Structure 1
Amino acid sequence: MRTDTHFPTATEGLTNTRTRIVGNRTGFWADTVVALARLGTALGGAFRTAGARVASVVTPLGWSILVLVPILLVVGYSLAWLEFVIAGWAGVVLLIVAGVYLVGRTTVDIDLRLVHPRVTVGESAEGIVVVRNPGRARTLGVTVEVPVGSGLVDLAVPGLARGAESEQRFSIPATRRGTVRVGPVRTVRADPIGLVRREYVWTEPVELYIHPRTIGIPSLSTGLVRDLEGSPTKELTNSDVSFHALREYQRGDERRYIHWKSTAKTGTPMVRQFEQTRRSHLIIALSLAAVDYASDEEFELAVSVAGSLGARAIRDVRDLSIVVGERTPEFAKRKVFAVRALSTLSRSRLLDELAVVEKAETALATVDIARVAGAQAAGVSLAFLVCGSGPTPTELRAASTRFPVGVEVIAVVCDPGALPELRRVAGLSVLTIGYLGDLTRSLAKATAG
């Protein structure tokens, strides 16, 4: 199908750039105007790109020199002030030298790795930057910058021969529990005065996990959970593994549980009765409420206690739940009654999540956490409530009542510097510890009781 483009109305309703400039005019002069407009657009784009690149490499000091140099030269030549002229040309020389430093490209390969991606608070942590020269020519020295948290590490890498590599180690502060973002590694080309600066990013950032301190404690099964498959309770059932007593046969009882010897002696059908057993499911509830702690030291001790208990339970291959209270949004109308479960797949995963927990003013307190955890966790046989010195004995007792009858509840009160103490009330054992090492002895006392 043939399309004719010479209709007189072909430009009607057209709103592209050409029609905005020359309308529906044609001919040499219209084409010239359009060509000039195209050239201006291309030059404008090139200038914007160049300006963006210049702005990204020129430092505030460099911009100051760029502004001062023409002023000094104009004033110096206008007023015949030799000092201004000399200062102006000195600035020109500095700008030319700074531009020379930007010429070329760093031909190296750079890798970043951590010696240990997970460390315990207080331990030494190190990172390694490996710089290789894959080219044929020798490289000049280069400055490598590594952001570490909110700080910055500068590493001076010497010149490298063909195929050579340099390994630069740097320390990472691990004085506080949490995560530290390390990297990305970048190289810097800059003049000695600091007029220009060009950065090249070489690696992706990595995360260093700083775990809370933990200690080894005896198995939680010893004394607290007394058998391999479950802990006998006071509840009676018609079928289980823990024998309790004999009773008379009732309609509906299974014949396989009839005790024939007793039946023969008494002349009345007798059946076995059992104690219902409960799978050894442990729950550890860590309070994040600021009201439950008098200081940051109490909270850090509580996190370490939760980590120690959880790591031991994971090693014992027990059914385990570790929960922390959710926060109520700042403008919520009602308190949010919910808990968040931490990962218990492995010790490392658990400590990774404990490394980033923080206390908050709006987090659920101990009593509320026990209320939610007691309602959600089915088949719990042992519950640990970990908190600071904030909750009163009455509040701890109220928290213990939120769990079903038959659940052993142990409250671990973290009060740095306090003497270890064990108090018992109905259905609750309260362990007060002043140091992490007190946890082992306090649990031994609770077990012996």
Structure 2
Amino acid sequence: MTSPVVRPEAKSKGRKKDSRGRSSRSGPGRGPGTVRDRSRAAGDSRSENLFATGTQGLTNARTRLVGNRTGPGADLVVLLARIWRAIAAAARAVYRAASSVVTPLGWVMLGVAPAALVAGYLLGWIELVAVGYAVVVLLCLAALYVVGRNAFTIQLDLPHVRVAVGDEASGRVTIANPTRRRVLGVVVEVPIGAGLAEINLPGLRGKDSHSDTFSVPTARRGLVPVGPVRTVRGDPVGLARRELDWTGVVELFVHPRTIGIPSTSTGLIRDLEGNPTRDLSSSDISFHALREYLPGDERRHIHWKSTAKAGSYMVRQFEETRRSHLVIALSLANADFATEDEFELAVSVAASLGVRAIRDAREVTVVVSERTPDFASRKTLAVKSLSTLTRSRLLDELSTVDYDETALQITDVARVTGEQVDGISVAFLVVGSTTRITELRAAAAAFPPGVEAVAIVCDPESIPGMRRVADMTILTVGYLEDLQKSLAKSVTA
């Protein structure tokens, strides 16, 4: 199922872009300081909108070819590159289909046979003619070996389709002979991701079956396709081979590692189970004060004892309580991470926060950066919302995320999320060590007022810590276990 994509409006008020594509808010007393800057700021809206959605600060296939240039010449270069990519993909598909039957030695023999026959007849060399016909005979015999189909049946079974990083995972292949005659042994190949497992299954008598197990590596987070189980038939010389698929593909989700977080660690805002907010309401559960009756107030909130003493109607006033809405924003831009270990730690942090919020039945939204297509001339300002219906659904989708050079950085992710998601109370911004403080502050400022912004910087080479910058809390974690202590410390502070 395709995850929904949240897209922003074409233009945001009060926000401009700098030279690296980061958003910032403009306010009184912060305008340009020179005449040239003031004239540039007073330009038409069309050029401003182009600059806001252009490819500045973006690296994709188009920018590598033509940079930020536009026009017919640049479009022609991009069109030729796309055509060449399509032709190359078609050629690779044809080659894979042909090479799945004919081995490299078979291709050599296919070239040797006509060359030997032509050279032998032209030069009068009987030896070359004999070699040519011998190769032709070998090729015909190889073709006969790959014809036909075995009578047995093969099944693939994975006891568990979801495991965590480092857990043991295995599969089982079962071969059965439904006929009454004996079948010979066969070599079975099981593709496991980029690897391959070979299983030698013995010959079976009629109505017998045999099972064998194999292990699945889970050292890395991701989606591991297992299968299809196939048998290989070929000639003894190795000129041709025929692969027969017997099963479908079973997907194994290798979830990121998570850590248990106490429920109070994510309670950085008051909710229905905690204390009220400072916002006043005419109807709620937390009493605040009394005030004079106004037209439109409900009579059931009239405090009759105070009314009798004051001589005028007095009604109760309440402090508004609110259920927290957590937003977890994970950047997928490789510019926000120095190493792959930082990114894997960031995925585990986002997964731990999301799992705890789902377990507590809180309202949570998990978003990641959207990628810009390779040949797009505009930056795709959008975020991808992950499923938070269940813990397994969230971990399944986090198993497949990966960072990319064309993905939006955390500043743009926060801006889009703040514009499209309503009722945010706490926003967790998960980034790596290369994200600067100015970018984090710009990301925090992109959310509406009153939102508690918490930036979690994943840096395995740093000392865990917490600091307060303006209205934002910055937590630095070196290991996943540091997340629990850092969040507890931030709540206490």
Q: Structures share a fold, TM > 0.5?
A: yes
The 1:271–1:143 alpha-carbon spacing in structure 2 relative to 1, beyond 3 Å, is same
Corresponding residue of 2:150: 106
Whether the 8 Å CA contact 1:231–1:279 is kept in 2: the answer is no
Per the TM alignment, residue 73 of structure 1 is displaced from its structure 2 partner at its CA by: 13
Change in 2 beyond 3 A, CA 1:94/1:286? same
Work out the CA distance in 2 between the residues paired with 1:333 and 1:63: 43
- Letter matched to residue 385 of structure 1: L
Q: By how many angstroms is 1:263 displaced?
A: 2.2
SS at the partner of 1:430? strand
Shift of 1:106: 1.0
* Letter of the 1:421 counterpart: G
Greater shift after overlay, 296-305 or 147-156? 147-156
The question of 1:437 aligning with 2:481 is answered yes
- Give the counterpart of 1:262 among 298, 306, 316: 306
Q: Say which is worse superposed, 313-322 or 287-296, in terms of deviation.
A: 287-296
Q: Please show how residues 57-206 of structure 1 align to structure 2 within 5 Å.
A: 57-62=101-106, 64-65=108-109, 71=116, 98=142, 101-102=145-146, 105-206=149-250
Q: Which residue of 2 aligns with 1:210?
A: 254
Q: Which residue of 2 aligns with 1:34?
A: none
Name the residue aligned to 1:372. Answer: 416
Quote the Cα distance in structure 1 between the aligned partners of 2:271 and 2:219: 41
**Counterpart among 276, 289, 294 of residue 320 in structure 2:** 276
**Deviation of 1:419 (Å):** 1.3
Give 2:192's aligned amino acid. Answer: V
TM-align CA RMSD: 3.1
Shift, 1:319, TM fit: 0.9
Out of 360, 364, 368, which is 2:404 matched to? 360
Shift of 1:302: 0.7
Kindly indicate whether the alpha-carbon contact (under 8 Å) linking 1:120 and 1:211 is maintained by their aligned counterparts in 2. Answer: yes
2 CA distance for matches of 1:250 and 1:104?
90
Give the corresponding residue for 2:435: 391
Letter of the 1:196 partner, please give it.
A
Unaligned runs of 5+ in 2: 1-96
User: For each residue in 1:189-231, what CA deviation from the matched residue of structure 2 results, as whole angstroms up to 9, or x when unmatched?
Assistant: 2233212322222111222222111111111577435444576
Aligned-partner SS, 1:311 = helix
Correspondence for 2:366: 322
Q: Deviations over 1:253-276 (max 9, x none)?
A: 222111122222333432111112
**TM-score, normalised by the number of residues in structure 2:** 0.72
Is the CA contact (8 Å cut-off) linking 2:256 and 2:398 kept in structure 1? yes
The unaligned stretches of length 5 or more in structure 1 are: 1-52
Q: Which residue of 2 aligns with 1:419?
A: 463
Range with greater deviation from structure 2 (292-301 or 255-264): 255-264
CA–CA separation in structure 1 for the residues paired with 2:142 and 2:379: 61
Seen in structure 2, the aligned counterparts of structure 1 residues 79 and 359 have a Cα distance that, compared at 3 Å, is closer
Contact 2:157 2:171 in 1 (8 A): yes
| Mapped pair 1:250 → 2:294 | yes
**Amino acid across the alignment from 1:212:** P
Q: Which residue of 2 aligns with 1:32?
A: none
Q: Secondary structure at the match of 1:112?
A: strand
Deviation of residue 113 (structure 1)?
2.2
Count of aligned pairs: 395
Q: Name the counterpart of 1:351.
A: 395
Listed one character per residue, the Cα deviations across residues 9-51 of structure 1 (whole Å, up to 9, x for unaligned) are xxxxxxxxxxxxxxxxxxxxxxxxxxxxxxxxxxxxxxxxxxx
Quote the Cα distance in structure 2 between the aligned partners of 1:393 and 1:79: 80
- The amino acid that maps onto 1:416 is P
Match of 2:490 in 1: 446
CA deviation digits over 1:312-331, x for unaligned, max 9?
Answer: 11111111111112223445
Contact 2:151–2:177 (8 Å) recurs in 1: yes
1:334 offset after TM fit, Å? Answer: 4.0
The farther-off stretch of 89-98 and 176-185 is 89-98
Does 2:444 correspond to 1:400?
Answer: yes
- The answer as to whether partners of 2:265 and 2:487 remain within 8 angstroms in 1 is no
Per-residue deviation, residues 342-397 of structure 1 (Å, max 9, x unmatched): 00011111111111112122322222222221222222222211111222223322
* Cα deviation digits, residues 131-186 of structure 1 (max 9, x gap): 11111011101111222223322221110122221212222222222212222221
The corresponding residue for 1:30 is none
The alpha-carbon deviation at position 54 of structure 1 amounts to: 11
Match of 1:337 in 2: 381
In 1, Cα distance between equivalents of 2:102 and 2:401:
41
Paired letter, 2:340: D
**CA positional deviation for 1:310:** 0.4
Residue 344 (structure 2) aligns with: 300
Q: Deviations over 1:390-415 (max 9, x none)?
A: 22223322322222233222111111
Overall identity of the aligned pairs, in %: 60
Judge conservation of contact 2:270–2:323 (CA < 8 Å) in 1: no
Q: Distance in 1 between matches of 2:240 and 2:295?
A: 95
**Contact kept in structure 2, 1:142 and 1:156, CA below 8 Å:** yes
Question: How far did 1:60 drift?
Answer: 4.3
State the distance in 2 between where 1:204 and 1:317 align: 37
TM-superposed CA distance for 1:418, in Å, is 1.5
CA separation of 1:230 and 1:366: change in aligned 2, threshold 3 A: farther
SS in 2 for 1:233: coil
Q: In 2, Cα distance between the equivalents of 1:72 and 1:224? A: 83
Report deviation, 1:55: 9.9
Shift of 1:295: 1.4
How many Å separate the matches in 1 of 2:480 and 2:321? 33
